[in-house]
Structure 1
Amino acid sequence: MCDDRAARFLRETPLWKLQAPTLGLKAAEGIELWLKLEHLQVSGSFKARGMMNRLLAHDIPASGVVVASGGNAGIATAAAARALGVRCEVFLPGVSPEAKRARLRALGAEVVVVGEQYADALAACLARQRETGALLTHAYDQSEVVAGAGTLGREIEQQGGLPDSVLVSVGGGGLIGGLAAWFEQRSRVVALEPERAPTLFRARQAGEPVDVEVGGVAADSLGARRIGAIAWEITQRQVRDALLLSDEAIRAAQLWLWKELKLAVEPAAALPLAALQTGAYVPRAGEKVCLVICGANVDPASLA
């Protein structure tokens, strides 16, 4: 993204370097943990990068833009649309929390709640796009969206150098697709998914993307029913590990980040810490591990 409008819209988010004991971890000697605080991004998540990139790549019709989302992609699209002065319509599933709906309305988006899961909202969104001719912004499976997410990898490397490993949450796969494409195995990119929303894990078992049942504490942001085609192709070449984490571990990590570091993040952002706390991922001695803290669109009351 070289457009000046993107530079004015996006933030360079902090990279916080900590030793393992600071995160309450007993780890091998010399482990360095990097927290990429992308939850401080415009719109509260990494999604702002891809959504603005998508909008800037196209002439936007009078009918504006339309997107289906569990919340974060919609918020990012609405924020980008407001910055560009265009209309935005967002389709949400019933699982989306009221805090995200309120944020969308505050950004001036037209909000439509339909069905229970992301796939229901996507079907309604696609029908609406055919009706109005609006520019469709997909939450994770468009080349501009994945490329925009990849700028996060570039920023990490510019700020801290090359990490040995990058732990990243996976829903539809836009973020891991962008990061894996950027790092190209120069760093080990590790996919983390909830046990109750294992799109990449199940695709690997089946040998191709398949629909899965989704639910659990992170379903509002990691609730895609199927891994995206772009992410599937990239991760087949660039990502070795796809790990699963329980809702209990995710929730414990989310609360730890709030209580100990005062980082108010959504469950999806807590998977990297959960992977370390549970031992699902065990760094080797001297490893530099980057934890992508991907989103903060959370109801503060849920952190009590």
Structure 2
Amino acid sequence: MVDVQIPTRERIEHAAQLIERYVRRTPVLRLDLPSRGAITLKLEQLQHTGSFKPRGAFTNVLTTATTPATLVAASGGNHGLAVAYAGRRLGIPTQVFVPQTAPAAKVSRLRAWGADVRQHGQRYADAYEASLSAAAQPGALAVHAYDSPATVTGQATMAREISEQVPEVSSLVVAVGGGGLMGGACAWFGESTQLVAAEPVGSASYAAAYDAGGPVDITPRGLASDSLGASRIGEIAWAAMRAARARPVVVDDATVLTARELLWRECRIAAELGGVVALAAVLEGQVEVAPDGGTVVVVCGANADPSDLPMN
């Protein structure tokens, strides 16, 4: 049974202090969109390992009573990279279970960080099931990708940073897979900020839960399903997002591709498809843009092959 406990600001502050020496304070960047106005990008793809995930990984390990003997994670790629990185920094062996569909670039990076990589099934859920026996071994710490209190608390430290970097956050747009990052943002900001949960068509676990009145299973598919392909929204994220009245929006694959190319052409930011879903929601006109840059859009991942991006 998942401990459905929305992180408090006090716990988020404590986590920020614990992980400060291990994570980057990622920058923000103003981007003028000719047809929409100015937005503020939170460049979390510049975090260690190329995504926001180390925040939650380090929080899991550093809040345990005793140092784990091993770390175990199931991941579509980015979470596994973060856990492998945390294990390497802290000197703890790591086992990472990924689906066979995980991008080769992510799998090779996992091995480069020293992780023992096990590939199982076609979906994140398959890899997670395969990880359970390893996680049950004495001394092992299972680091959940999105649905544990420590994971959500750690991801919330990104929202805390945003509140220090942007004077007035009118709205915050975050891509959602299992919901750990958005759940953390909702825990930090609450109802004081308009919170928009952006999902790609085919992998919209929060939109499905929103319509059904509670978490339901989906079958993830589509361009960004490798990083946002959770088959069910996390219970903690669901509770936090409901409490903060986060609004779901679903974006087309074509707009995701447009958003990725726009970031490259305008900023020379090579993001992964899941990393630009929040920007895609703005480009589709599903988010009202504040006139002062107070609309903050998170670029949450960069672990993709950049060879298909145009050079002009």
* 2:20 aligned counterpart, secondary structure: helix
Q: Aligned pair 1:161/2:178, yes or no? A: no
Alignment match of 1:122 (pick from 96, 104, 128): 128
How far, CA to CA, are the matches of 1:110 and 1:240 in structure 2? Answer: 37
Whether the aligned pair in 2 keeps the contact of 1:60 and 1:135 (CA below 8 Å) is no
Partner of 1:149: 155
Query: In 2 relative to 1, CA 2–127 (structure 1 residues): closer, same or farther, beyond 3 Å?
Result: closer
Partner of 1:19: 32
Partner of 2:119: 113
| 1:301 Cα deviation from its structure 2 partner | 2.0
Count of residue pairs brought into register by the alignment: 296
Partner of 1:197: 203
Whether the aligned pair in 1 keeps the contact of 2:38 and 2:289 (CA below 8 Å) is no
Question: What one-letter code is carried by the residue in structure 1 that aligns with 2:229?
Answer: G
* 1:8 aligned counterpart, secondary structure: coil
| 1:5 Cα deviation from its structure 2 partner | 6.4
Deviations 1:144-198 (CA, angstroms, capped at 9, x unpaired):
1101111101101111223100010000000000001101122111000011101
TM-score (norm 2): 0.91
Q: Aligned pair 1:69/2:69, yes or no? A: no
Whether the aligned pair in 2 keeps the contact of 1:95 and 1:219 (CA below 8 Å) is no
**Unpaired runs of at least 5, structure 1:** none
In the TM superposition, 1:123-142 aligns within 5 A as 123-131=129-137, 133-142=139-148
Whether the aligned pair in 2 keeps the contact of 1:169 and 1:269 (CA below 8 Å) is yes
Query: In 2 relative to 1, CA 107–192 (structure 1 residues): closer, same or farther, beyond 3 Å?
Result: same
What value does the CA root-mean-square deviation take over the aligned residues? Answer: 1.6
Question: What one-letter code is carried by the residue in structure 1 that aligns with 2:247?
Answer: D
In the TM superposition, 1:235-250 aligns within 5 A as 235-250=241-256
Question: What one-letter code is carried by the residue in structure 2 that aligns with 1:60?
Answer: T
- Which 4+ residue blocks in structure 1 deviate beyond 6 angstroms? none
**Unpaired runs of at least 5, structure 2:** 1-13
Question: What one-letter code is carried by the residue in structure 1 that aligns with 2:240?
Answer: I
| 1:285 Cα deviation from its structure 2 partner | 4.6
| 1:216 Cα deviation from its structure 2 partner | 1.0
Question: What one-letter code is carried by the residue in structure 2 that aligns with 1:15?
Answer: V
TM-score (norm 1): 0.93
Question: What one-letter code is carried by the residue in structure 2 that aligns with 1:93?
Answer: P
Question: What one-letter code is carried by the residue in structure 2 that aligns with 1:19?
Answer: D
Partner of 2:38: 32
Query: In 2 relative to 1, CA 211–127 (structure 1 residues): closer, same or farther, beyond 3 Å?
Result: same
